[in-house]
Amino acid sequence: MKTIIRSLILLLAAASILGCRELTIRSTPNAIVGTWFVEDSGAPFHQHMYVFNADGTMQQANPDAGDPTASDSDGKGIWIAEGSRIRGKWMEITADRSTHKFVSRGEILFDIQVKGNTFAGTLSARFYDPNGKLQQDFPAAPIHGERLTLP
């Protein structure tokens, strides 16, 4: 009986140590994690804010002043690291300003590379109507980001 108890204690101790080691490995965030001021030359309103989370999700926001007929100021998405590059996709929903009805779903793809507190890459976008039919297809355009930091 004592042998079984000792074995269980050793097994729990080993699992605890391995679990802590795994947590330490995962707690090192990718270089993209953080808040970024982004210049997107292909967007109606060029300035955006991106937030990349360590869990592979991200948020995008920009003033909706770029389009006088529709509102599209917020996006949510995902990202993955592939070597030194970050690939991802975010989606935004567009509503008509006068009717407040759904106009389109935008799917925006990006491919960027982080260097210190900046990133550069490309972004392309496709917009689909309420029935899922492609309305607009914007080819890849350059984007640049600068990390938000404290002085």
Judge whether 49 and 73 are in contact, CB under 8 Å: no
| CA 135 – CA 143 distance, rounded (Å) | 23
55: helix, strand or coil: coil
Domain ranges, ordered by start, for the chain: 1-29, 34-147
Calculate mean pLDDT across residues 135-148: 97
How much is the pTM? 0.78
Strands, DSSP E only, in the chain?
34-40, 47-52, 57-61, 70-71, 74-82, 85-96, 102-115, 118-128, 134-147
Tell me the pLDDT tens digit for each residue of 15-27: 555 555 444 455 6
Q: Among 15-19, 50-54, 136-140, 143-147, which stretch is predicted with the lowest mean pLDDT?
A: 15-19
Tell me the pLDDT tens digit for each residue of 27-48: 678 999 999 999 998 888 899 9
Instruction: Tell me yes or no: is domain 34-147 CATH 3.90.79.
Output: no
